[in-house]
Amino acid sequence: MKYKPDFDEVQQRMIAWWHQEIIDRACVQVTAPLAQPREIPGPEDIRERWLDMDYVLATAEERIRCTYWAGEAYPMLMPNLGPDAFAAYMGAELVFSQGTTWVKPIIHDWDDLPSLDFDFSAPWWQKMESMCVEALEFAHDKFFISLPDGHGGTDGLAALRRPQMLCMDLIDHPDEVLAAMKKMDEANTVYYDRLFTIFAPYQDGACGFVPAWGPARTATSQCDFLALVSPAMSEKFIMPGIRDETDGLEHSVFHLDGPDALIHLEMLLEMPGIQAIQWVPGAGNPTASEWLPYLKRMQEAGRGLWLSVSGPAEVELLMQELDPHGLMMRVGVETPQMADDLLKSVAKWTRTRV
């Protein structure tokens, strides 16, 4: 790989990480700037900045070229239509802004539902499929392409209906919601099967938006809607879909987003298909090391951890407090020399723990 010549070594360390094993040190993904990226001229229209793949790919390669990728960090681009893309595949209209997209809901009456079958001819899915192929062809032997952000299943249904409305529907229309969620989960399975078919000829292994590469069917699983409901509601309506999705993957890291989602942790830890958890404290909340009881509970349950870390000092603290087996930390530093020095320190700290 042009921008990560030792990617073969990264893959071996990642395989060990998935299996709670250590080759010679805990896993750490360290990046540092090499240069200031050049500004790539792009479309003035915001929508086209999302959709113009020549611009998207040129911008990504410039960012990647100007970054030092140390340890298990590897250069990656995710084809992206925003967090509600799955709802767009189901027929909702995408709205573009500078930093994100969303959809206009299309479920207004449970007695008059749109088709929730996954349709490969749907315009936004056709666009995403072409974006993936263009990215895979462009990035070949230069950098990695992740699967696009999913947000299928319950999150997709919430986007089609509006999250606050779906919360009320769990009480007022439980049977209709359960039937719709089953359809969305079936569509999610079709979606993943199609994605892996597209990606397999171009790359060995896969990953989702969390850069945790794995062989075969590997992805990031998530359900942000969890933060809005009780454990009893999630057990009835949501957990079956998460279980089906993760059971259908060889390797899955679950994106656990924010303190409000922690009430569902024990149910998630009971799912064998979830091998690792990305803990995201959420904006304005303390960093990873302030959540040690929860992180230790995840490790006690045999789950790997993928953590964004504030700096080398927090890396050292986490190395002291957590088991280095199955631990993956992502951190940015100021210079390539600092990145190399941190890798040496992590190797030393690992030797004191194993």
> Mapping DSSP to helix (H, G, I), strand (E, B) and coil, where does residue 261 land?
helix
Residues 6+ apart with CB under 8 A from 46: 96, 97, 98
Core vs surface per residue 233-252: b (16+ CB within 10 A) or e: bbebbbbbbbbbbbebbbbb
pLDDT given for residue 283 in this prediction: 86
**Which residue in the block uniquely carries the two structure tokens 């194993």?**
354
**Which run of H or E residues covers position 13?**
helix 7-18
Q: Report pLDDT for 150.
A: 85
Q: The whole model's pTM is what?
A: 0.96
Q: Tokens 């767009």 belong to which residue?
A: 88
Task: Please report, in tens digits, the pLDDT of each residue of the chain (354 residues total).
Answer: 999 999 999 999 999 999 999 999 999 999 999 999 999 999 999 999 999 999 999 999 999 999 999 999 999 999 999 999 999 999 999 999 999 999 999 999 999 999 999 999 999 999 999 999 999 999 999 999 999 998 999 999 999 999 999 999 999 999 999 999 999 999 999 999 999 999 999 999 999 999 999 999 999 999 999 999 999 999 999 999 999 999 999 999 999 999 999 999 999 999 999 999 999 998 889 999 999 999 999 999 999 999 999 999 999 999 999 999 999 999 999 999 999 999 999 999 999 987
Query: What is the reported pLDDT for 354?
Result: 78
Which domain covers residue 334, as residue numbers?
A: 7-353
CA distance 226 to 231: 9
Q: Where are the beta strands (DSSP E) in the chain?
A: 27-33, 67-71, 76-77, 93-96, 101-104, 144-145, 218-222, 251-257, 276-280, 304-308, 327-332
**Structural domains of the chain, count:** 1
Residue 1 domain-assigned (yes or no): no
Give the CATH number, domain containing residue 16.
3.20.20.210
| pLDDT given at position 311 | 97
216 within a domain of the structure (yes/no): yes
Helix (H) or strand (E) holding 165: helix 163-172
Inside any domain, residue 2: no
Residues whose CB falls within 8 Å of the CB of residue 314, separated by 6 or more in sequence, listed in order: 287, 288, 289, 331
